[in-house]
Amino acid sequence: MPQQIITDKNDINAKLNWHIFNQNIGIFGIVGFGKTEKMKELTHHVGNKKRWVFDYNNKFNGYGKIAKTVNELDTDWQWIYQGDNSRAAFERFCDKAFYNTDKADPKQNTSNLVLFFDELQQYMRKRTNNLHFDNIVFSGRNKGLCVVYATPTPELVPDPILGVTQHVYAFKMAMRDQIDWFRHNFIGDLAELLLPPNYRRERITLEYKGKVYHVQDLPPLTHHSCIYRDINKLEPVVLGGFEFEPS
């Protein structure tokens, strides 16, 4: 049976049911197609809860108080870190969140903190662990820490981190290997829609509004469309839609 394309934003599978402080989110896709905008949207979803953003490209102005050094960060504000982007600074950022969850001073206590990392690929390699980030992902849950990360290169994110990513947003991709990875791990044949029509696998079919199509015959997705999957639900869905309706 061909996989069904769901584009109804009111479908149960399209609803973000994010248990903050208990679930992590990964956002993937090439530059310029909506990753950062989705991350900004998720900062609003957090509301007034404590959050820090590691703003690699200085795109989050207006989303919190700006910090130029890790030492400035506390939990009395929603902070946007726009300082040194070195690996050492990234690791200090992670450590400050992880090792201060038991502080008596509420302005320094980092429990129940949401951490946003834009351009995670700058610090991740598939076969190289980053202990500082790993601490947050694998042990931070018990400390009330939650991670939202964005990267154009899912293949560089270590498998154990992907394995504890409960919500996935996949925007347009550039490489066949990335599409095959998403097909097998998260979103099935719908992953083909993340490529232009002439790069999709010609033998794959999908069902859309009761009609079966070869994927190459389906239009491109609109500019900021993505495929969303909550691994606790049955089906991935298209958030957005096609540039025009299939004939």
- pLDDT tens by residue, 66-118: 999 999 999 988 999 999 999 999 999 999 999 999 999 999 999 999 999 99
Cα distances from 5 to residues 12, 188, 197, 206, 234, in angstroms, run 14, 11, 15, 7, 13
According to DSSP, the β-strands at 50-54 and 24-28 are unpaired
pLDDT at 127 over 70: no
Q: Which domains does the chain have, with CATH numbers?
A: 1-17+175-247 (no CATH), 31-151 (3.40.50.300)
Number of H helices, E strands in the chain: 5, 12
What is the pTM (predicted TM-score) of this model?
0.95
pLDDT at 240 over 90: yes
Give the per-residue pLDDT at 174. 84
Eight-state DSSP code of residue 123: T
Helix, strand, coil shares of the chain, percent, nearest 5, are 30, 25, 45
